């Protein structure tokens, strides 16, 4: 890439070009995971589908690897690449809501906070992720598990249309009537087929939730964790509920349970049961807005080093819970956390089963070993902890793990297992049609045939 070609690129986009010499380069290349430190040759902050096509064309003519950035949260750091071109969509965040049709159209750089703020202004919602700064497109393309999963399914189940720029620069639309196979593929198959510039979602009415977090500490955590598991197994679909297991500085376990109830009762039996579990030290569950619920977890951006490994499991037996509790002390310092995401309720509905490239609906939970730390000197210890913890969960595994949480070093076999053989083969055929040269390979990659 020459000075001249870069100058031409600067003139040909409506958005902004950020090269290493430009102010703001270090901020623009930073992503959620501080473990990732990559230096793209150029970052193209796109403003519209034409800019995306121009960026893809420039990358092709200059033989640059391509990365695509939405919210910058992918733990593998797929939104940046060394020496390549990063297509940054963060200028494109508009969300338009059609209250009568109960649909919303989001530009491809919108975050969940952008999206939920717009839809909640009309008392509507679609099930997204649990952290507001996560990108809508990136999360949706990997499935999408969050505070309303039991009620309304995975995020991708609610995706009804998309506009994408394919690597050859064409603009394609994917709906139930037009390129329906592409819609099927982006519902779970990741950003493998094109750069999405607009997504359209189905919305559901929602005025308030009963939510927040319950915190348990010390010896009661073991019993509270079992209570969470049993409750979720029989929970009605108007209650989604996740949990996070961590440890304090003296390595005593801490459990945070985050329910999100949308039914008509003021104090449902399931929440009473959680409140009465032993070890409760903080009861922060009450009626509030869904936007407040989206702030229950607010991790800092770009500060912690992260290494995650997720496993879908068919059950959560006592033996596994006890092992996970032991693992919280195994490193001799707080290792990070284990996240429990339940897949009960709407994700299991028969009518959504074949509508997307999702291979984990049959699982009961997604269990993720999420090592987090700051000191670069202990990288290997924490990475080892996440790997060993995932290995301890593996005997109960039903698929290769959640693509949205995968690190870059996951082998292709785990990506393949995440979808299952049949779905993976269908995704490969789709990839061959839309991206035969694997231009979009910095992702949980589906290689073309
Ligand atoms: C703090 C945190 C909380 C999270 N919470 C949840 C959660 O509650 N539920 C859940 O399911 N997941 C969650 N995730 C995982 C997250 O959904 C995925 O990592 C997702 O890929 C992040 O999307 P992004 O746009 O923010 O990330 P980016 O790193 O910007 O993008 C990730 C990848 O998505 C693809 N992509 C993004 N935008 C586009 C586009 N417009 N067109 C084509 N491809 C695109 C690209 O392949 C890109 O490399 C969380 C991650 C973090 C770090």
Length of the chain: 449
- For 92-150, how does the pLDDT look when each residue is reduced to its tens digit (9 = 90+)? 999 999 999 999 999 999 999 999 999 999 999 999 999 999 999 999 999 999 999 99
Q: Ligand 1 mean position to 73 CA, how many Å?
A: 5
Question: Could you state, in chain order, the average pLDDT of each consecutive group of 10 residues for the chain (449 residues)?
Answer: 93 97 96 97 97 98 97 96 98 97 97 97 97 97 97 97 97 97 97 98 97 96 97 91 97 97 95 95 96 93 96 96 97 97 93 88 96 97 98 93 94 90 96 98 95
Residue 298's closest CA among 138, 135, 131, 147? 131
Q: Ligand 1 atom closest to Cα of 111? A: 26
Determine the Cα angle at 291 with ends 287 and 295, to 5°.
Answer: 90
- Answer yes or no: are the C-beta atoms of 111 and 71 closer than 8 Å: yes
**DSSP type of residue 89:** -
Nearest to 128 by CA among 192, 183, 71: 71
pTM of the entire predicted model? 0.97
Q: Is residue 79 in contact with ligand 1, taking CB distance under 6 Å?
A: yes
Q: Is the CB of 140 under 6 A from ligand 1?
A: no
For a substitution probing ligand 1, which of 32, 47, 73 has the most ligand atoms within 8 Å of its CB? Answer: 73
Residue nearest atom 19 in ligand 1 by C-alpha distance: 74
Is there an atom of ligand 1 within 6 Å of 131 CB?
yes
Q: Which residue among 48, 56, 74 has the greatest number of ligand 1 atoms within 8 angstroms of its CB, and so is best to mutate?
A: 74
* Residue 133 and residue 299 in contact, taking contact as beta carbons nearer than 8 Å: no
**Which SS3 state, helix, strand or coil, does residue 17 take?**
strand
Q: What is the pLDDT of residue 118?
A: 98
pLDDT digits (tens, 9 = 90+) for 176-211: 999 999 999 999 999 999 999 999 999 999 999 999
Edge-to-edge strand list for the sheet holding 103-107: 95-98, 103-107, 195-202, 159-165, 171-175
Looking only at the bridges linking them, the beta strands covering 365-373 and 124-125 are: unpaired
Q: Which two tokens stand for residue 314?
A: 């068919």
From the CB of 56, is ligand 1 less than 6 Å away?
no
> What are the residue ranges of helices labelled H in 282-317?
290-293
Helices assigned H by DSSP within 68-220: 112-120, 136-141, 149-152, 180-186
Q: Which atom of ligand 1 is found nearest the CA of 194?
A: 43
User: How far are the Cα atoms of 183, 339, 441 from residue 108, in angstroms, in the given order?
Assistant: 15, 27, 19
Q: pLDDT at position 92, please?
A: 96
Return d(Cα 93, Cα 114) in angstroms, integer: 7
* The two structure tokens encoding residue 240: 């989604």
Helix 421-434 to helix 412-419 angle (10° resolution) is: 110
Distance CA 44, CA 55 (A): 7
| Residues whose CB falls within 8 Å of the CB of residue 55, separated by 6 or more in sequence, listed in order | 13, 44, 46, 66, 85, 87
Q: Is the CB of 195 under 6 A from ligand 1?
A: yes
Q: Is the CB of 72 under 6 A from ligand 1?
A: yes
Report in angstroms the alpha-carbon separations of 187 from 151, 352, 366: 18, 11, 18
- pLDDT value of residue 350: 73
Structural domains in the chain? 3-88 (3.30.43.10), 95-206 (3.30.465.10), 209-412 (3.40.462.20)
Q: How far apart are CA 44 and CA 16, in angstroms?
A: 6
Q: What is the DSSP string of 141-167?
A: HT----TTHHHH--GGGGEEEEEEE-T
């Amino acid at each position: 890439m020459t000075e001249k070609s870069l100058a031409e690129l600067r003139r040909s986009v409506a958005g902004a070009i950020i090269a290493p010499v430009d102010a703001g380069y270090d901020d623009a290349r930073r992503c959620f995971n501080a473990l990732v430190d990559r230096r793209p040759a150029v970052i193209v902050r796109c403003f519209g589908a034409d800019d995306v096509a121009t960026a893809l064309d420039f990358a092709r003519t200059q033989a640059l690897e391509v990365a695509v950035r939405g919210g910058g949260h992918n733990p593998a750091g797929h939104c940046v690449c060394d020496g390549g071109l990063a297509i940054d969509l963060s200028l494109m965040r508009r969300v338009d809501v059609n209250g009568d049709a109960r649909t919303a159209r989001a530009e491809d750089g919108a975050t969940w906070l952008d999206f939920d703020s717009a839809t909640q202004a009309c008392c509507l919602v679609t099930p997204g992720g649990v952290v507001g700064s996560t990108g809508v497109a990136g999360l949706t393309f990997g499935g999408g598990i969050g505070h309303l999963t039991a009620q309304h399914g995975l995020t991708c189940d609610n995706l009804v249309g998309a506009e994408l720029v394919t690597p050859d620069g064409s603009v394609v639309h994917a709906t139930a009537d037009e390129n329906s196979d592409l819609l099927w593929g982006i519902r779970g198959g990741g950003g493998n087929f094109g750069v999405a510039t607009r997504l359209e979602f189905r919305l559901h009415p929602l005025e308030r939730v009963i939510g927040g977090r319950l915190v348990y500490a010390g010896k009661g955590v073991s019993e509270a964790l079992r209570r969470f598991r049993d409750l979720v197994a029989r929970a009605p679909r108007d209650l989604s509920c996740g949990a996070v297991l961590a440890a304090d500085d003296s390595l005593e376990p801490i459990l945070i349970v985050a329910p999100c109830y949308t039914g008509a009762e003021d104090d449902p039996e399931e929440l009473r049961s959680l409140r009465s579990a032993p070890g409760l030290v903080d009861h922060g569950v009450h009626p509030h807005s869904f936007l407040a619920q989206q702030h229950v977890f607010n991790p800092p951006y770009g500060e912690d080093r992260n290494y995650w490994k997720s496993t879908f499991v068919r059950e959560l037996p006592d033996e596994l819970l006890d092992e996970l509790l032991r693992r919280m002390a195994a490193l001799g310092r707080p290792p990070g956390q284990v996240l429990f995401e339940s897949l009960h309720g709407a994700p299991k509905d028969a009518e959504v089963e074949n509508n997307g490239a999702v291979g984990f609906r049959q699982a009961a939970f997604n269990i993720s070993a999420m090592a987090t730390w700051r000191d670069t000197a202990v990288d290997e210890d924490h990475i080892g902890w996440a790997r060993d913890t995932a290995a301890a969960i593996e005997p109960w595994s039903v698929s290769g793990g959640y693509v949205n949480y995968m690190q870059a070093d996951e082998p292709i076999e785990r990506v393949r297992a995440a979808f299952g053989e049949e779905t993976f083969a269908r995704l490969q055929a789709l990839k061959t049609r839309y991206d035969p040269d694997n231009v979009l390979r910095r992702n949980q990659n589906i290689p073309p045939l």
